[in-house]
Amino acid sequence: MKASAISHPNIALIKYWGRQDDGGRGLNLPLNDSVSMTKEGISGGSRLQSHTTVEFSGSIEKDMMVLEGREICGRELERVRLVIDPLRKIAGVESHFSIRSVNDFPTAAGLASSAAGFSALALASSSALGLDLTREELSTWARLGSGSAVRSLHGGFVYWHKGSSHETSFAEKVCEGGSFQLNAVIVIVNEGRKGISSDIGHEHAYTSPFNEIRTELSQKEALLVRSAILDNDLRTVGSIAERNSKYMHAVMMTSDIPLFYWQGETLKVIKSVHAMRERGIEVYFTIDAGPNVHCLCRPEDAPEVQKELECQDHVLRTIVARPAKDPHTIDEHLF
């Protein structure tokens, strides 16, 4: 009862920020539908992947997980159990688990490491337990560990239906990466861990005066972006993604715990994107809950965008990403 999986993070084009009130059940039901690209690194020394091995065995004395070489405990281990406990129950297995997981990219720096990690975890766990679940079903279980992990159960472009219950809040594939040619030039200005986790941020979203209008707009924009992806319309996808990202950061900065994920360097990259667009390069930015910037453009423009940004003093490095293939199990185990 051992299996391994590879999964990728995703970059949200329409953001998830803030949760429905579910009476404290921890369902991670978002306020609005969201849309993302699951991303695979093709340059910059990182394929952007989580590799996770899960084993269930009667000989394991307690549930344990080693993440990036460090044994996790407390709240972190609880989050892992939120995903695995229901899967164990479905499979009728009571054994403890042992997990190892590694990322080839920075953890907790707004690059969606938890999305990659929890989707790999859900996939490897269900495989180790011999369960035959659809990706949509699996996505609901990954969601319990980290909301945005729901979208990493598919490759390509993905739509997360917010739903109103555990079963109805799942991710669906919009299309494979091949039909909408998009690259993300990821501009890394800080690889450190975030000061305040997104988890706390989600809980405070409702305290911003802009939360309600952001939610309403995002719900509409999710549908518009889905259509535009299917129409191969970069201008619509990019311009909506850029403003949707600004809406989220406006909510963050105006919450009662003001979250300024942007750094000075983040603003410099934003201004570079504006300047490139004025010069005729079709490029848009989007920023998750961290200081790093994703620059969305056509694959043929990615080298120029990368070249423009990677030479700037305030940029640590860049990674070019394309739509990833579906997450999958592999035979290579970590222990």
Residues of this chain that interact with a second copy (CB under 8 A) are: 209-210, 213-214, 217, 243, 246-247, 250, 253-254, 258, 260, 262-268, 270-271, 274, 314
User: Of 176 and 310, which has the nearer Cβ to a second copy?
Assistant: 310
Provide the minimum distance between the beta carbon of 327 and a second copy in the complex, in angstroms, as a whole number.
Answer: 34
Provide the minimum distance between the beta carbon of 162 and a second copy in the complex, in angstroms, as a whole number.
Answer: 19
- Return the structure tokens found at 41: 């690194």
- Return the structure tokens found at 327: 């997450």
150 SS3 class = helix
User: Of 178 and 264, which has the nearer Cβ to a second copy?
Assistant: 264
- Residue 236: Cβ within 10 Å count: 15
Cβ burial, residue 51 (10 Å; 0-12/13-18/19+): buried
Provide the minimum distance between the beta carbon of 267 and a second copy in the complex, in angstroms, as a whole number.
Answer: 5
Provide the minimum distance between the beta carbon of 17 and a second copy in the complex, in angstroms, as a whole number.
Answer: 14
User: Of 32 and 140, which has the nearer Cβ to a second copy?
Assistant: 32
User: Of 166 and 268, which has the nearer Cβ to a second copy?
Assistant: 268
- In the chain, the amino acid numbered 294 is H
User: Of 260 and 335, which has the nearer Cβ to a second copy?
Assistant: 260
In the sheet that 2-7 helps form, which strands lie side by side, from edge to edge? Answer: 70-71, 64-67, 96-103, 50-57, 2-7, 328-330
Provide the minimum distance between the beta carbon of 217 and a second copy in the complex, in angstroms, as a whole number.
Answer: 6
* Rg of the chain over all Cα atoms, to the nearest angstrom: 19
Provide the minimum distance between the beta carbon of 258 and a second copy in the complex, in angstroms, as a whole number.
Answer: 7
User: Of 209 and 299, which has the nearer Cβ to a second copy?
Assistant: 209
User: Of 43 and 207, which has the nearer Cβ to a second copy?
Assistant: 207
**Residue showing tokens 């390069």:** 281
CA end-to-end distance (rounded Å), the chain:
13
Angle CA 133–135–136, to nearest 5: 100
Asked if residue 321 lies in contact with residue 9, where contact means CB atoms within 8 angstroms, the answer is no
Partners of 65 in the beta sheet? 99
Q: Which residues contact 278 (CB under 8 A, 6 or more apart)?
A: none
- Phi, psi (deg, nearest 5) at residue 196: -125, 130
Provide the minimum distance between the beta carbon of 314 and a second copy in the complex, in angstroms, as a whole number.
Answer: 7
